[in-house]
């Protein structure tokens, strides 16, 4: 079996400690451990004069190789083009997208530099798996350096509708770069269709059937691989998590009152202000819940240097303060808003202790919190998932209470319905969702993608 080389913006180097290794990191590490390989990417650090060569951590059979970024590269590549251009654009926020040519140049420069630093570490038989929007041009840069290996790409975010993608001045260059991969994976059918649509209608590419596309002189496979979670591990953790001190404290403090929970990075795509407004509407429309139901919103700060993220933070502080000021009582606060993360073990306990999981992004590639909430439930008394129809997860978890996060009335009604739902209906919906969560577990996602990548003929599909 050939070696695997994983390339991603962030690398879960074991030295960085377990706190950073989420489910995805664990799954990728396992894949690397099976056949040996390299995990390559950004160190997460900036330096005034970054070292020319990657820092290497050996953890046989896996090599972790990471590069620091200069302040300028970090600004233009990460804060700039990745998170102020591609991120908003891919999440349908054209109003927030900043089309700055200098950031684009920085994005290309970092991709070129990273490809040049990985190339000497590669063997001819390695299979390369690149992740996410930060690294779209990575394969074309490797190809330019003569790398003919199999290269796959998985996009963790949505891929936008053609009309939205066309607003990107560099759309053609990025699409051409995507076609330098042999396999391109998307979260949902929606994303795949948007990509096919663009390739066929804008670039005159050809759809060859069986998920094969020909464009820019290359043939590639573009398919749907919905990402999942480590289901059994999550269930086991959740069963024990009720004993966690933080979870016990929360349950004790809540007493007879009921809790709803939202857990998101502090990101405008997650629809947190809209959620707060919907919750306010819920309190107003169903006053019997005042004093007895709270929304706990966990939102660790993310990408804090990017202006749009600073703005959403102050908007939320204002909103939470307003709602608590208007509705709060001496012994009850409607919104518990926490700008910090919690260890996985504690989170699963929180999920289990909360009657309603509120996952209402305005747009999301998948949203694993939705799947984690489901997997953490007590099978004998499951809670209810209220899920945005614009999260990739809604494609699979159609037994959730699906909502339109832009419609506060709709979400307020859904929250009320979730609280009133009978145990029988809750159980029925939960069982249906658990089945789907199992069907697309993290292991299955990884195995499916890698088996397709490994089946690419030597020299690519063009050579078949």
Is 364 annotated as catalytic?
Answer: yes
CB of 72 to ligand F6P, least distance (A): 18
Q: Which is nearer to ligand F6P, 10 or 417 (CB)?
A: 10
CB of 324 to ligand F6P, least distance (A): 28
Catalytic entry in 74, 364, 408, 413: 364
Phi-psi group of 426: left, alpha or beta (phi > 0 → left; psi -120 to 50 → alpha; rest → beta): alpha
CB of 305 to ligand F6P, least distance (A): 11
CB of 460 to ligand F6P, least distance (A): 26
Q: In sequence order, what DSSP letters do the residues of 169-190 get, joined into one string?
A: TTHHHHHHHHTTSSEEEESSHH
Q: Which is nearer to ligand F6P, 340 or 380 (CB)?
A: 340
**Hey, which residues between 357 and 396 contact ligand F6P (CB under 6 A)?**
none
Q: Which is nearer to ligand F6P, 76 or 132 (CB)?
A: 132
**Cα-based torsion angle of the residue sequence 14, 16, 21, 27 in order, rounded to the nearest 10 degrees:** -30
3-state SS of 289-342 is HCCCEEEEEECCCCCCCCHHHHHHHHHHHHHHHHHHHHHCECCECCEEEECCCC
Residue 132 makes contact with ligand F6P by CB under 6 A:
yes
Residue 303 makes contact with ligand F6P by CB under 6 A:
yes
Considering only residues 2, 33, 190, 302, which one is a binding residue for ligand F6P as defined by CB under 6 A?
302
Integer-rounded Cα radius of gyration of the chain: 23
Catalytic entry in 156, 182, 264, 408: 156
Residue 10 makes contact with ligand F6P by CB under 6 A:
yes
Cα angle value 228/16/352 (rounded, 5°): 40
CB of 163 to ligand F6P, least distance (A): 23
**Hey, which residues between 252 and 271 contact ligand F6P (CB under 6 A)?**
265
Sign of the dihedral defined by the CA atoms of residues 6, 157, 142, 214, in that order? positive
Could you tell me where the DSSP H helices lie in 209-287? 231-241, 245-254, 272-285
From CA 321, how far away is CA 335, in angstroms rounded?
9
Whose CA is closest to 410, among 269, 312, 277, 315?
277
CB of 190 to ligand F6P, least distance (A): 16
Could you tell me where the DSSP H helices lie in 354-395? 368-375
E strand or H helix at 8: strand 4-10
Q: Which is nearer to ligand F6P, 170 or 367 (CB)?
A: 367
Q: Which tokens in the block code for residue 225?
A: 């691989």
Which residue of this chain has its Cβ atom nearest to ligand F6P in the complex? 156
Q: Which is nearer to ligand F6P, 71 or 253 (CB)?
A: 71
From CA 134, how far away is CA 130, in angstroms rounded?
10
Size of the site for ligand F6P (CB under 6 A): 8
Residue 156 makes contact with ligand F6P by CB under 6 A:
yes
Q: Which is nearer to ligand F6P, 26 or 432 (CB)?
A: 26
**Hey, which residues between 417 and 446 contact ligand F6P (CB under 6 A)?**
none
Q: Which residues bind ligand F6P (CB under 6 A)?
A: 9-10, 132, 156-157, 265, 302-303
Residue numbers annotated as active site: 156, 364
């Amino acid at each position: 079996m050939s070696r695997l080389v994983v390339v991603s913006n962030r690398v879960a180097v074991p030295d960085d400690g377990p706190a950073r290794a989420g489910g995805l990191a664990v799954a990728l590490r396992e894949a690397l451990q099976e056949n040996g390989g390299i995990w390559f990417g950004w160190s997460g650090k900036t330096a005034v004069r970054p070292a020319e060569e990657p820092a290497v951590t050996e953890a046989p059979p896996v090599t972790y190789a990471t590069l620091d970024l200069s302040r300028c590269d970090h600004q233009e590549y990460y804060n700039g083009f990745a998170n102020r251009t591609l991120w908003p654009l891919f999440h349908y926020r054209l109003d927030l997208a900043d089309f700055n040519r200098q950031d684009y140049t920085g994005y290309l420069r970092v991709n070129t530099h990273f490809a040049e630093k990985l190339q000497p570490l590669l063997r001819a038989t390695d299979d390369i798996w690149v992740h996410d929007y930060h690294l779209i041009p990575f394969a074309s840069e490797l190809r330019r350096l003569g790398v003919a290996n199999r290269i796959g790409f998985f996009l963790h975010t949505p891929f936008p509708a053609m009309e939205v993608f066309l607003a990107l001045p560099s759309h053609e260059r990025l699409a051409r770069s995507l076609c330098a991969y042999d396999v391109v994976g998307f979260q949902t059918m929606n994303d795949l269709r948007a990509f096919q649509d663009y390739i066929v209608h804008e670039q005159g590419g050809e759809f060859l059937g069986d998920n094969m596309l020909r464009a820019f002189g290359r043939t590639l496979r573009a398919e749907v691989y919905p990402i999942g979670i480590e289901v059994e591990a999550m269930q086991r953790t959740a069963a024990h998590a009720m004993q966690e001190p933080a979870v016990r404290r929360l349950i004790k403090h809540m007493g007879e009152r009921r809790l709803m929970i939202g857990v998101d990075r502090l990101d405008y795509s997650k629809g947190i202000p809209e959620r707060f407004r919907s919750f306010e509407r819920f309190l107003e429309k169903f006053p019997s819940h005042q004093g007895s139901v709270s929304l706990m919103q966990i939102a660790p700060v993310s990408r804090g240097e990017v202006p749009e993220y600073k703005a959403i933070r102050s908007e939320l502080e204002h909103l939470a303060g307003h709602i608590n000021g208007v509705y709060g009582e001496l012994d009850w606060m409607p919104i518990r808003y926490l700008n910090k993360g919690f260890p996985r073990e504690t989170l699963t306990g929180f999920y289990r202790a909360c009657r309603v999981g509120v996952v209402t992004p305005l747009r999301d590639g998948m949203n694993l919190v939705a799947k984690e909430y489901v997997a953490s439930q007590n099978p004998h008394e499951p809670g209810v998932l209220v899920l945005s129809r614009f999260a990739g997860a809604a494609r699979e978890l159609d037994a959730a209470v699906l909502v339109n996060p832009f419609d506060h009335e709709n979400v307020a009604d859904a929250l009320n319905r979730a609280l009133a739902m009978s145990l029988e209906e809750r159980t029925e919906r939960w069982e249906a969702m658990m089945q789907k969560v199992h069907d697309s577990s993290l292991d299955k996602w990884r195995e499916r993608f890698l088996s397709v990548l490994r089946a690419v003929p030597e020299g690519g599909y063009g050579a078949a």
